[in-house]
Structure 1
Amino acid sequence: MSAVELPDIRPTLADVARVAGVSTATASRVLNGFAKVRPETRDQVKSAMIALGYARRRAASLKDVRRTGSIALVVCEKMLQVFADPYVARIAAGMTKELATAGAQLVLIPMSSTEDYPASIVHYLADGHVDGALVIGMHGRYPLDLAWLGIPVVFGGRPVCDEDSGQYSYVDADNRGGAEQAVRHLLASGRRTIATIAGPQDMVAGIDRLLGYRKAICKADGIDDSLVVFGDFGLASGDHATARLLERRPDVDAIFAASDLMAAGALRALRRAGRRVPEDVAVIGFDDLPVGRRTEPPLTTVRQPIEEMGARMARELLAMINGPATPPSLVFDTELIVRESA
């Protein structure tokens, strides 16, 4: 008689969170020893761990684990935004090309940007279905409990984790320097009332691009918060933000948008308002997406090497899978691409 394989009934991190009455992300922060957790919450999680007999799942060695040949691409956005954003397609293309040379395949896992991590996704990543994970689009949350997952992870963009981000592997672009260069270009061309459509402030790209704008403006005439509006990196948000901006500051003569899609939305709003680009208002975007070459006029933008960044993320992850590797903190240079819009 063959042996019957019993189901794994060990308590999971999600079980601990449920018993403690907190989110899985909060339970993960307690397990990782992050300081920014209330003492009473920490006590609740620890009590739940003891009551359930919880223990982290740790692989003895990455080399001892059966390889699946699959790599997860975890995109922390809603499904519609995942497929609407050309940035995701381009970075995935770079990853796929690099992984193909190693005989690995990419598995797309959209994960809505809520505070809690869906238990099904956490279990999928931890239960041996993939050899590692590439994570993009993090929204202001601490990363998954990497030790509990037992797989290597590389992030696209520096995680928003304050002083703890140094322990994680990530590949990023010089968002702050690129934004500063764009605004300096506008100042050098004689523009003086320069606004920005900033990205989400729970993402490093949104934070750093706003900081770059502020640094360049501060060196010139000082910060005017009435010239700062916010979007979600999408086209519609750029349109809406520009309409609000023109109502508040009709004297604006330049706009730095923190993404090409928001810049394209800004062009649409400016055209509707009867403003000529670049004669009345100059516009600069960020990313150098194909959409910027098709706008009217073609879009001046800050180029980040998206496909190359995706390939480097995949390369670093493969190195971590194949042997001990120091977590990289790689930042790619950006480049200002001047076209007709500014």
Structure 2
Amino acid sequence: MPKPTFHAIARLAGVGTATVERVLNGRGGVRPRLTEKVIAAARALDYPRRLPELHRGILRIEVILVRPETTFFSRLSQAFGRIAAGLDASLAVHRTFMDEHDAAAIAKRIAEPEARRAGLILAVPDHPLIRAALAKVRAEGIPVIQIVTRSEGTDAIYVGIDNYAAGRTAAHFLSRMQPSRGSVIALCHSQAYQVHRERIRGFSDYLQERPRDGLFFVAVLFGLDDADHSANRLVEALRAWPDMVGLYNAGGANASLSSALRGHPRGGEIFFIGHELTERSAVALREGVMSMVIDQAPEAQARRALDLMLARLGLVGAPLANDPIRFVTITSENL
């Protein structure tokens, strides 16, 4: 792509071209707040030259996450903490957990931070209010990275696995490793996360494109990643489809689903594949309650997100690739 012009940077920053020239050529005489706006705009437009320092003090990167009680987001938060501890003292990574059901509060936090920040990393639901807040932040020239899942219609950098491929992989193994004939259901949080929509779409597309005689994908159920709600949906499904032979959980609450299967007469006959390796899913694999787990390596996602953010802030010179994070398929044989 062509190198962005001073005029394009000035338009995004809301300043004159003379101000852009003074900042980018290091000639001084520009107020700190305007300097920040120019440098942020230049970074947002991928200006290729090394840019002046944005702050003389600490650069603050905010990470916004949800559901701290889940193993996955706990692992993700801990990974950010470990990586941040090894960064230069001029960099601060601030982690914030928010209620995933309060889109207005999340949007307000995105658009109106409590403290000045140099960059934003977030894993939050897809919602119109959140999309609007992200558009505002991007227009201000603040680098934004979406991790794990993303909002539709935004051009922020995305870090995560190929969720469509993960869904297809789940269907591939279920179809080939479950010899019995019968019904298959899928379970996920809801339609609030694009990550789950992509996984279910991949799962459905595979079974439609490569139908197997006697295997029928009959329903997608929503458990909200809540233990009781998910277990109840599964028990209802077992009652509605007594011939069930396959279960794909694209979201959380694997432990409660495993408990429900342990207590059901046909639980051991169902091929159950879910996401995220935890202590409890490892136990379920060893017991034969779960057949396979797809783990998406939250530690690798945190590392990639911070590396890309440092590059966007001009603190890493070499270009960084952003291929999808590799997910791992785990059975009782390779725990």
TM-score if structure 2 supplies the norm length?
A: 0.71
TM-aligned CA deviation for residue 150 of structure 1: 4.5
2-structure distance, mates of 1:119, 1:155: 14
Render the CA deviation track for 1:226-271: whole Å, top value 9, x for unaligned: 4321222343333122012112111101211113x43322221122
Alignment of 1:1-342 (within 5 A): 59-62=37-40, 63-75=53-65, 77=66, 82-103=67-88, 104-113=91-100, 114-117=102-105, 121-122=109-110, 125=113, 127-128=115-116, 130-141=117-128, 142=131, 144=134, 145-147=136-138, 150-161=141-152, 164-165=153-154, 167-189=155-177, 190-192=179-181, 193-218=183-208, 219-221=210-212, 226-259=218-251, 261-277=252-268, 280-295=269-284, 296-297=287-288, 299=290, 300-322=292-314, 330-339=323-332
TM-aligned CA deviation for residue 125 of structure 1: 2.6
Letter in 2 for 1:153: V
TM-aligned CA deviation for residue 276 of structure 1: 3.5
1-structure distance, mates of 2:87, 2:229: 39
Q: Which SS does the other structure have where 1:125 is aligned?
A: coil
Number of aligned residues: 274
1-structure distance, mates of 2:87, 2:275: 32
Render the CA deviation track for 1:302-334: whole Å, top value 9, x for unaligned: 121211111111111111122699897541122
- Pick closer, same or farther for the CA change 1:297–1:67 going to 2, 3 Å: farther
Contact 1:154 1:317 in 2 (8 A): yes
Unaligned runs of 5+ in 1: 1-55
- Pick closer, same or farther for the CA change 1:215–1:86 going to 2, 3 Å: same
Unaligned runs of 5+ in 2: 1-33, 41-52
Across the aligned residues of Structure 1 and Structure 2, the Cα RMSD in angstroms comes to 3.1
Render the CA deviation track for 1:22-67: whole Å, top value 9, x for unaligned: xxxxxxxxxxxxxxxxxxxxxxxxxxxxxxxxxx997221433444
- Pick closer, same or farther for the CA change 1:118–1:200 going to 2, 3 Å: closer
Other-structure match for 2:44: none
Contact 1:125 1:149 in 2 (8 A): no
Letter in 2 for 1:315: D
Higher relative contact order (CA 8 A, sep 6+): 1
2-structure distance, mates of 1:202, 1:119: 15
Letter in 1 for 2:207: I
Contact 1:263 1:283 in 2 (8 A): no
Other-structure match for 1:43: none
TM-score if structure 1 supplies the norm length?
A: 0.70
2-structure distance, mates of 1:88, 1:102: 21
Contact 2:294 2:329 in 1 (8 A): yes
Identity %: 16
2-structure distance, mates of 1:57, 1:170: 27
2-structure distance, mates of 1:195, 1:120: 37
- Pick closer, same or farther for the CA change 1:168–1:155 going to 2, 3 Å: same
Contact 1:91 1:306 in 2 (8 A): yes
